[in-house]
A and B are shown apart, each in its own frame.
Chain A
Amino acid sequence: DAKTTQPPSMDCAEGRAANLPCNHSTISGNEYVYWYRQIHSQGPQYIIHGLKNNETNEMASLIITEDRKSSTLILPHATLRDTAVYYCIVRVANRAGANSKLTFGKGITLSVRP
């Protein structure tokens, strides 16, 4: 699986958009970008994933650059409850019979301030 690089931390004001960057310059053509978050020792929570098109769901948007070497997770209206460690993970999509192991790096700590 390709390695990802994330800044260690960032903060944003409550109600504003939080834009979390991730670099994955060695990503392969069949590797997806996944985002998870972990709120203070709770179980990691799946947020979103994508291959090359931008994706949006009820939690967030994922913007992937055209060359796929980087991506940005966008929380459109951050709340205090979004304070967490966010992990960007690059891996081949799950397929039948495959170990769905995730390799979590250090992630980025997002602090949402009132």
Chain B
Amino acid sequence: EAQVTQNPRYLITVTGKKLTVTCSQNMNHEYMSWYRQDPGLGLRQIYYSMNVEVTDKGDVPEGYKVSRKEKRNFPLILESPSPNQTSLYFCASRLTVSTGGLFFGEGSRLTVL
């Protein structure tokens, strides 16, 4: 089954404790991206990646890092989480040239105390 898998789905952590949210897709998609969703602000793009070893900032990259060492994986790294990073996070992927849409993961709800 074609899917985008995120882990963990739920996480409560404390300020400053480094964490990684993993994202993996099994569709051989070149493009991957991370969004966060907050009440009243909608979905905002954090980072995106066109292909392996190619990443770029989205609209709200501060406090986040990403890496793309393999095509299928695109982890989101919070080196020193803060409470304002409490949010619902979504990973998404798509083919580079396609007439379809983005495939989204099921989301990761992160709470930073």
Residues of A within 8 A of B (CB): 34, 36, 41-47, 49, 93-97, 99-106
Contacts and interface: CB of A to CB of B under 8 A. Distances in A.
Q: Which 5 A-B pairs have the closest CB atoms?
A: A46-B101, A43-B104, A104-B43, A104-B42, A101-B45
B43 A100 contact: no
A36 B104 CA distance: 11
Interface string B86-113: 0010101010111111111111010000
Interface of B: 4, 31, 33, 42-43, 45, 48, 50, 56, 58-59, 88, 90, 92, 94, 96-107, 109
A49 B42 contact: no
A47 B101 CA distance: 8
B106 A43 contact: yes
Contact of A100 (B4, B33, B90, B107): B33
Given A46-B100, A94-B97, A95-B97, A102 B106 contact: no
A106 B96 contact: no
Contacts of A93: 99
13 contacts: A43-B106, A44-B104, A46-B101, A46-B103, A49-B99, A95-B97, A99-B50, A100-B33, A101-B59, A102-B45, A104-B42, A104-B43, A105-B42
B43 A49 contact: no
B99 A102 contact: no
A96 B30 CA distance: 10
A91 to B, nearest CB: 11
